[in-house]
């Protein structure tokens, strides 16, 4: 059932985030110095401040997916929270735990080691920064596309309370509360933030007419700020979260129109994310170079189980259950200071994680939907996975040399040593004794929960390592305070590894052996121009980029062994290039227009694998489009603010477009073209104690889906295409004391 909410509103624009008025004054962490504004840096980035996040009603990073040029911040939709981010055409298509991201997510300075569970509700945030292009020198591996920096709000020195209640179509009820203030005047302050959302489900399952998409989220975050001296600060953050709900709304495009929200599945599945994390950040002001020594220690544990109706039909053909678990800890020690004409940033970094992945594929029509493999379907139930211990150690340095009052040369280098130890269990039937028994008998193994299963990781263990040097050189020209012209060259790498999802049919003649894949390297050239004019009322930012990708990693999705066969490999070399334009102009003190446009083009230079399935690598393969490279993305917006009845009315309206893009490497699966319209109106008194808003998202009710996995032959072929929500309307009340 859908709740139809009447939103009577004037409309507010989704102002391009690099130009949102309060964002102009936000100090960003992109250069790890903590004293720089976004417009002053020689790189392309967008920053969303706390007020901008509130005005946009951002629930998680996906809420910003259509807000920037050449940026896609979306999950795979197979299970909530599994990021498949793409920036400038560099990204991933994968729900496999061992596949490293191409766009790194950093929360309060701590890298999130896996895609699974890296998208969670973003509440009580100070800022979100999206860095476009490789960021290997300062941020390390797995940022070949870019980096997303999320900062939670810190404790305040004065007492404050905040609350929010939102009601959206679904029905989805969201509540959050924050209390912050001093615990010991001038020495210790604290902040407690709580979040809860109960979504009854936006969809309707045509299989039985039931409401579908139920999801409940609870998050608890506590922060302490200890300042024993004026020059020493400790920030301790701890967070726990729980997400539990239905599995994906799988649409089979052989049965249902791609432009509709119709689907019919007999297995509702499930999707959950449970996590705990803690971060200790230390900042010490030192006389040496008038600098700051920062140390960030982080720990995180996450578990992401999910189950889905992969055939996406009312019949039992192919169901799956998957378990992802990961535990990580990391430490970064860095220094930032100034010596004459040189601004120096240098540091050491260490990261390690343990991961476990279990993949169960149930092909038995006798099983109860959603229950997993039963006691009489051993030949039709296939289970496999992998486990690994990964570690990374690095040293990095960056120096900005002020050659003159207008010219700055930036040089940087990061050296990384990475090790990966992994063991694999092929996805195979219990009757396949090729490598020994699949499941060690034990309590709850047959028909039990997937985490009760004990896999025989009998395939040969893998011990892999890489050494990498990621340099960056940039030249910046500032002829005046309103002009920033720059050129940069950089290199970054994405980790290699072993495929954790390796299938076989059960005999030695068709068994697919596990295979390794090498690191992916990206060399990037970027030219940029940032210009303010009309005494700050206008702004134009332009960036041109050219990326050369060696050993491009692809996860191929083709029908085959165990219904669908996915293999991660080094597909070849490619070039991706394009341009980005962002502009804003304040027509009056209360009326601002903004626009952005991005263009991306990619093509293969050389291929090492056959994508077309004709067993040869030829021009047909080279002519294929690179997945997730949407040629055009653009948007326009208007923002209006006016005083009314002792308070202020703000309104916004935004239109954003993204072209269609291929999902699969053989260009059969395809992601939808989308036109997103968002609008809202809000009123609050002058003292800022409360505000009331009505808003709408995806007002054109566009149907989009997170992946388009081909699971059989025919025209159109059967697919597994999990739907994203369509139109969402809501009301929101915020209070502050």
For 96-124, what is the mean pLDDT?
A: 92
More confident call, 300 vs 716: 300
Tell me the three state secondary structure of residue 631: coil
Q: Taking all residues of the chain, what is their mean pLDDT, rounded to a whole number?
A: 88
Is 75 or 454 the better-scoring residue by pLDDT?
75
Q: Is the pLDDT of residue 400 over 50?
A: yes
Residue 394 confidence (pLDDT) above 60: yes
Backbone phi, psi, residue 162, to 5°: -135, 145
Query: For 72, which DSSP code?
Result: E
Rounded distance between C-alpha atoms, residue 377 and residue 571, angstroms: 36
pLDDT at 80: 83
User: pLDDT category, 373, cuts 50, 70, 90?
Assistant: low
- The residue with greater pLDDT, 127 or 712, is 127
Q: Which domains are present in the chain? A: 17-321+352-736 (2.40.170.20)
Q: Give pLDDT, residue 25.
A: 64
pLDDT in tens, 410-425: 999 999 999 999 988 8
pLDDT tens digit sequence for 279-302: 999 999 999 999 999 999 999 999
Output the pLDDT for position 42: 96
The whole-angstrom separation of Cα 115 and Cα 33 is 27
Query: How far apart (Å, rounded) are the C-alpha atoms in residues 468 and 463?
Result: 17
Average pLDDT over residues 539-561: 88
Say yes or no to pLDDT of 434 above 80.
no
Lowest mean pLDDT among 47-56, 450-459, 661-670: 450-459
pLDDT for 558: 66
pLDDT at 366: 54
**pLDDT at residue 232 is higher than 50:** yes
Cis peptide before 171 (omega within 30 of 0): yes
Residue 612, CB-side half-sphere exposure with 13 Å CA sphere = 13
Q: What is the pLDDT of residues 478-530, one digit of tens each?
A: 999 999 999 999 999 999 999 888 766 444 334 567 788 999 999 999 999 99
Cα 75 from Cα 84, distance rounded (Å): 5
Q: How far apart are CA 398 and CA 396, in angstroms?
A: 7
Give the per-residue SS3 of 542-557. EEEEEEEEEEEEEEEE
Q: Give the residue-averaged pLDDT of 390-395.
A: 98
pLDDT in the model for residue 509: 38
d(CA 247, CA 253): 18
Top mean pLDDT of 438-442, 632-636, 661-665 is at 632-636
Q: Say how far apart CA 667 and CA 663 lie, in whole Å.
A: 7
How do beta strands 103-107 and 146-152 pair?
parallel
Averaged over 67-86, what is the pLDDT? 92
Portion of the chain with pLDDT greater than 70, in percent: 88
**Region of 362 on the Ramachandran plot (φ > 0 left; ψ -120 to 50 alpha; else beta):** beta
Is the pLDDT at 560 greater than 50? The verdict is yes
Give pLDDT tens digits for 610-625. 888 788 999 999 999 9
More confident residue, 280 or 55: 280
The two three-digit tokens of residue 634, written as one number: 């653009």
Band (461; pLDDT cuts 50, 70, 90) = confident
Is residue 717's pLDDT more than 90?
A: no
* 145-166 pLDDT, tens digit each: 999 999 999 999 999 999 999 9
Question: pTM score > 0.85 for this model?
Answer: yes
Burial (CB < 10 A; 0-12, 13-18, 19+), residue 680, is buried
Average of per-residue pLDDT across 78-99 = 91
**What value, to the nearest 5°, has the Cα angle with vertex 610 and ends 608 and 615?**
125
Report whether pLDDT(442) > 60: no
The answer to whether residue 46 scores a pLDDT higher than 80 is yes
- Give the burial class of 646: count Cβ atoms within 10 A of its Cβ; 0-12 exposed, 13-18 middle, 19 or more buried: exposed
Q: Using one digit for the tens of pLDDT, what is the confidence trace for 1-36?
A: 333 333 333 333 333 333 334 445 678 999 999 889
The contacts of residue 87 (CB under 8 Å, 6+ apart) are 70, 71, 72, 102, 103, 130, 132, 133, 145, 146
Q: Higher pLDDT residue, 688 or 370?
A: 688
- Give the pLDDT confidence of 120-146 residue by residue, as tens digits: 888 999 999 999 999 999 999 999 999
How much is the pLDDT for 4? 36
Would you state the pLDDT for residue 6? 30
**pLDDT band (50, 70, 90) for residue 443:** very low
> What pLDDT band is residue 722 in, cutting at 50, 70 and 90?
very high
């Amino acid at each position: 059932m859908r709740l139809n909410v009447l939103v009577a509103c004037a409309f507010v624009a989704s102002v391009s985030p690099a130009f949102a008025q309060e964002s102009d004054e936000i100090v960003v962490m992109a250069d790890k110095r903590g004293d720089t504004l976004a417009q002053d840096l020689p790189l392309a980035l967008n920053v969303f401040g706390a007020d901008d996040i509130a005005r946009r009603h951002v629930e998680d990073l996906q809420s910003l997916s259509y807000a920037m040029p050449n940026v896609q911040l979306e999950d795979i939709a197979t299970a909530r929270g599994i990021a498949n981010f793409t920036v400038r055409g560099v990204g991933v298509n994968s729900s496999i735990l061992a596949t490293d991201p191409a766009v790194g997510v950093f929360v309060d300075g701590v890298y999130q080691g896996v895609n699974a569970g890296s998208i969670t509700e973003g509440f009580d945030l100070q800022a979100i920064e999206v860095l476009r292009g490789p960021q290997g020198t300062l941020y390390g591996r797995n940022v070949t596309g870019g980096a997303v920096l999320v900062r939670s709000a810190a404790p305040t020195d004065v007492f404050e309370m905040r609350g929010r209640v939102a009601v959206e179509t679904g029905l989805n009820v969201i509540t959050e509360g924050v209390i912050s203030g001093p615990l010991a005047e001038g020495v210790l302050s604290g902040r407690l933030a709580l979040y809860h959302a109960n979504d009854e489900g936006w969809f309707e399952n045509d299989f039985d007419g039931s409401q579908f998409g139920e999801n409940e989220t609870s998050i608890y975050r506590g922060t302490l700020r200890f300042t024993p001296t004026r020059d020493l600060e400790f920030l301790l953050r701890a967070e726990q979260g729980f997400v539990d709900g239905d599995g994906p709304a799988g649409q089979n495009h052989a049965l249902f129109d791609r432009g509709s929200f119709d689907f019919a599945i007999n297995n509702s599945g499930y999707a959950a994310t449970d996590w705990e994390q803690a971060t200790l950040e230390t900042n010490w002001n030192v006389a040496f170079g008038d600098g700051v020594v920062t140390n960030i220690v982080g720990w995180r544990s996450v578990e992401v189980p999910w189950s889905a109706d992969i055939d996406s039909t009312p019949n039992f053909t192919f169901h799956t259950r998957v378990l992802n678990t990961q535990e990580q800890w990391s430490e970064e020690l860095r220094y930032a200071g100034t010596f004459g004409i040189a601004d120096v940033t240098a540091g050491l970094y260490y990261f390690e994680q343990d991961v476990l992945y279990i993949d169960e594929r149930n092909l038995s029509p006798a099983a109860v939907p959603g229950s997993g493999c039963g006691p009489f379907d051993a030949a039709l139930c296939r289970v496999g996975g992998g486990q690994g211990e990964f570690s990374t150690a690095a040293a990095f340095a960056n120096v900005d040399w002020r050659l003159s009052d207008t010219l700055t040369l930036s040089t940087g280098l990061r050296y990384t040593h990475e090790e990966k130890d992994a063991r694999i269990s092929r996805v195979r039937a219990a009757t396949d004794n090729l490598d020994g028994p699949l499941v060690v008998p034990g309590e709850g193994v047959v028909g039990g929960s997937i985490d009760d299963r004990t896999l025989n990781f009998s395939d040969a263990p893998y011990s892999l390592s890489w050494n990498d040097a990621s340099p960056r050189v940039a030249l910046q020209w500032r002829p005046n305070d309103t002009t920033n012209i720059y050129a940069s060259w950089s290199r970054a790498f994405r980790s290699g590894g072993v495929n954790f999802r390796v299938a076989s049919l059960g005999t030695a003649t068709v068994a697919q052996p596990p295979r390794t894949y090498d690191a992916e390297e990206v060399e990037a050239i970027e030219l940029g121009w940032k210009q303010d004019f009309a005494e700050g009322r206008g702004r134009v930012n332009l960036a041109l980029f050219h990326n050369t990708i060696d050993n491009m990693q692809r996860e191929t999705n083709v029908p085959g062994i165990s219904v669908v066969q996915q293999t991660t490999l080094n597909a070849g070399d490619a070039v991706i290039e394009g341009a980005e334009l962002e502009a804003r102009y304040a027509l009056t003190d209360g009326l601002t227009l903004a626009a952005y446009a991005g263009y991306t083009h990619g093509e293969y230079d050389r291929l090492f694998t056959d994508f077309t399935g004709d067993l040869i690598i030829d021009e047909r393969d080279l002519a294929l489009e690179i997945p997730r490279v949407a040629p055009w993305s653009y948007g326009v917006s208007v923002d209006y603010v006016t005083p009314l009845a002792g308070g202020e009315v703000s309104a916004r309206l935004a239109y954003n477009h993204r072209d269609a893009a291929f999902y699969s490497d053989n260009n059969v699966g395809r992601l939808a073209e989308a036109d997103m319209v968002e609008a809202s109106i809000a009123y609050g008194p002058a003292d800022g104690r409360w505000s009331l808003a009505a808003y709408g998202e995806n007002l054109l009710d566009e149907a989009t889906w997170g992946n388009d996995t081909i699971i059989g032959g025919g025209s159109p072929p059967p697919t597994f295409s999990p739907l994203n929500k369509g139109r969402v309307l809501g009301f929101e009340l915020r209070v502050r004391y």
